[in-house]
Structure 1
Amino acid sequence: MKAKLLLEISNITQEIETDYPELYQYLDENPITIPNEDNLNVDDKSLKNYLETLKTMLKKHKEGHQ
């Protein structure tokens, strides 16, 4: 499940970066702020929430620019 969520997050992030760079600044994925810990545990719920946030942000942006 986690691998699928990470793939979806990666795909939508790539779409935003490529097709909607004006949104990229709003992503919380700044490499400087990502912890560098071996035992960091991100659960499926957190990943799902993040994915839904990305989807919602992209959907609203698309609707506003039609």
Structure 2
Amino acid sequence: MTSIANILTQITELTTDLETNYPEIYKFLEEEPITIPAFEHPYLNKKLLKDYLESLKELIIHHKQTHQIQ
């Protein structure tokens, strides 16, 4: 079973990859890895983090398919 820490690590790695290799899509992300939450105790759970991770993966796949990147 994947832990929250593992999911967060994967999200960080993917956002870093986007920032480095796909700056044209990174600038459209609504959140940046260094963003400080506006709430004192923002509610995040494992499902929300997994969904966000999957959306990042799908974003990269879609970009590669539409721009013929191998």
What's the TM-score, normalizing by structure 1?
A: 0.85
> In the TM superposition, what is the alpha-carbon distance from 1:40 to its structure 2 partner?
2.4
Deviation at 1:10, TM superposition (A): 0.3
Q: Distance in 1 between matches of 2:49 and 2:28?
A: 17
Partner of 2:38: 35
Runs of 4+ in 1 over 6 A off after TM superposition: none
Partner of residue 26, structure 1: 28
| 2:67 corresponds to 1:50 | no
1:2-60 CA-to-partner distances (Å, cap 9, x unmatched) read: 0000000000000000000000122121437x3251x3231000001100110001110
Equivalent residue, structure 2, for 1:11 = 13
Please report the TM-score for the alignment, with normalisation by the length of structure 2.
0.80
Structure 1: gaps of 5 or more residues: none
RMSD: 1.5
Q: Which has the higher contact order (CA 8 A, sep 6+)?
A: 1
Q: Which residue of 58, 63, 66 corresponds with 1:64?
A: 66
